[in-house]
Amino acid sequence: MRLLFALSSLTLLSFSLLATETPLKPAVSYQLSFSNRAHHEAAIQARFQGVSSANLLLSMSSASPGRYAPHAFAKNIYDLNATDSAGNLLPLQRISPSQWSVGQHDGTVIVRYRLYGDRGDGTYNQIDRTHAHLNMPATLLFAEDYAQRPASLRFDLPDPNWKVATQLQLHSDGSYMAPDLQYLMDSPVELSAYSQRSWKVADQQSQATIHLALHHQGTEQHFDTFVEKAKAVVAEQQKIFGEYPQFDYGQYLFIADYLPDVDGDGMEHRNSTILTDERSLKEANYAQIETLSHEFFHAWNVERLRPADLEPFDFHRANMSRNLWFAEGVTNYYGKLVLSRTGHFDLATYLDKTVTALNKVQQSPGRQFFAATGMSEMAPFVDAAISVDPTNYANSYISYYTFGEVLGLALDLTLRSQFEGLSLDLLMRKLWQEYGKVGRPYTEQDLQQALAELTANPDFAKNFFNHYVNGQQLPDFEALFVAMGLELAAAKPTQAFLTAATLVEQDKALKVDSNTLIGTPLYQAGVDKGDVLLTLGRYKLSSKAQWDKALARHQAGESAELRFRSRGKTYTTQVTFSADPSWVLTENKEATTAQLARRALWLKAQR
């Protein structure tokens, strides 16, 4: 819970009252203008008042809340200068790649710089003729000395049709105020001629207004259809937790950019979320609702129900957590499950999405190297991180989104089938009441303890965590699905199988275009990425069709001769076909009434 670590709920309340009556005097004020937006530049001025140390240390962030890889945002600022209150130039020294020191000031330091940004997503900035889409850690120079002080933002809007979409509070003087640095950095801003819809929601205790600001090129009718889907998601998620979070100022804001020049992403914040997609709503057939569902679930799970190892968020380095399988993975599970409950996914679609995740985890060799908690710790390398050296992630890594989604599924189905009246929904609600709602971060042990209390069975909780969360076993999904009137079975039980690697046609042969997986026949034959497959048995592998034909001639357990070329040399070896490991998940047409009832409680709209 980011904000409440800095301010008690009492001071938060008084801030909110002050904000509407006598504005707090900001110690830091930023002014942003966009006259060179055609070339993706913003001009930024930051004014620090009451500077008490001889040298003011300024930093660009190297991390962004909700993103776990390090990002050197300082690479995109230039033309820096600093003056005092009288306009005298001050010495400005770069003391590290992301830090500057300013001396000889008169208590006021005004820094001006240019910012370049042309990537519209949840991490970076995109400045162009149509919008300024700003993520604050990628935008603002900040001073650690001022981390606990209020800051204000002011935008010079270059177009009379542009408006400001942000979770920050608007003041009567036209500025936007953040109570402290963590809040400021957690508050992205979209400046554009976006469309907006708003609706009120309420629970037993409180009311809130949900806003959806959409910058797109589609029609208002498409937007309205999407808003109806969003309303259903918001309402269905509230039923899981029993209440909405206490949104600051009673507002929650979706900021969506569905434009051809953005990059697809979703990024949660405390009272808002960024949603980007290259496709229009129509092109995607409203598939963007899946990201919206995932991100709104984060308003509870991760924004407030928060892993202790992510607090406080450090803007100077990568942030690592062992709990992302829960914070991201269980969120991924619910993002999809809720769309079954709202009716956006029919049963076949939901089962297909579920078995896709399951196949990924089941077939990935990564499980022998790291448990779900260990995969979570890999986030700094994989969460929008870029490096030039190749990795063996195909064998060593499973996304904590997918891994956690599958564990959430296993836990939900186990609770529903083995504990009368229980479900993962009830565990989420318990965790919300005991941790998220009261701003108490949780540890791994807390999750296990909550499961032990919910089930009144500490051994069950201990075994689940030991075997599946911190261990490398997979739950017995076949049995779990039987209880739901579903059948998990081999997709192609008789089909001969050699690899799941990507094969591409190249010069009348087949090139292996991804790492082969440990344990598959092609891996055992010594074939790796970049190798070229020439013949299999009596088939020349000149195309993918020939490959399929060759496989169809064989059965699991049989062997054939494989010729392939690797880094200029040709090799001949025997391969033994295995069975295709993929699963398929279907309805059991002979399911019992009890199984069907259990499935409906799981997948249908909740009361």
DSSP 507-554: TTEEEE-SPPPTTSHHHHTT--TT-EEEEETTEE-SSHHHHHHHHHT-
Least Å from the CB of residue 255 to Zn ion: 15
Helices 400-418 and 331-341: angle between axes, nearest 10 degrees: 60
Least Å from the CB of residue 268 to Zn ion: 6
Structure tokens at 79: 């033309």
Residue nearest to Zn ion (CB): 328
Pick the closer one to Zn ion by CB: 68 or 183: 68
Beta bridge partners of 29: 47, 152
Pick the closer one to Zn ion by CB: 290 or 328: 328
Q: Count of H helices and E strands in the chain?
A: 19, 30
Least Å from the CB of residue 232 to Zn ion: 20
Least Å from the CB of residue 305 to Zn ion: 13
Site string for Zn ion, 280-319 (x = CB under 5 A): ----------------------------------------
Beta bridge partners of 134: 189
> Residues in contact with Zn ion, total (CB under 5 A)?
1
Q: Give the range of 33-41, 327-335, 352-360, 440-448 binding Zn ion by CB under 5 A.
A: 327-335
What is the Cα–Cα distance from 447 to 129, expressed in whole angstroms? 47
Pick the closer one to Zn ion by CB: 128 or 328: 328
Structure tokens at 292: 């919206």
Pick the closer one to Zn ion by CB: 328 or 487: 328
Q: Give the range of 31-39, 111-119, 284-292, 323-331 binding Zn ion by CB under 5 A.
A: 323-331
Pick the closer one to Zn ion by CB: 190 or 328: 328
Beta bridge partners of 584: 489
Q: Give the range of 43-51, 234-242, 325-333, 389-397 binding Zn ion by CB under 5 A.
A: 325-333
What is the Cα–Cα distance from 103 to 81, expressed in whole angstroms? 12
Residues 490, 582: contact at Cβ < 8 Å? yes
Beta bridge partners of 569: 566
Least Å from the CB of residue 295 to Zn ion: 7
Pick the closer one to Zn ion by CB: 326 or 481: 326
Residues 261, 124: contact at Cβ < 8 Å? no
Site string for Zn ion, 328-357 (x = CB under 5 A): x-----------------------------
Residues 192, 251: contact at Cβ < 8 Å? no
Q: Give the range of 101-109, 321-329, 453-461, 474-482 binding Zn ion by CB under 5 A.
A: 321-329
Least Å from the CB of residue 335 to Zn ion: 8
Q: Give the range of 201-209, 315-323, 324-332, 388-396 binding Zn ion by CB under 5 A.
A: 324-332
Structure tokens at 80: 């820096």
Pick the closer one to Zn ion by CB: 146 or 403: 403
Least Å from the CB of residue 333 to Zn ion: 11
Residues 503, 512: contact at Cβ < 8 Å? yes
What is the Cα–Cα distance from 323 to 307, expressed in whole angstroms? 6
Structure tokens at 271: 């009272």
Least Å from the CB of residue 27 to Zn ion: 33
Footprint on this chain of Zn ion (rule: CB under 5 A): 328
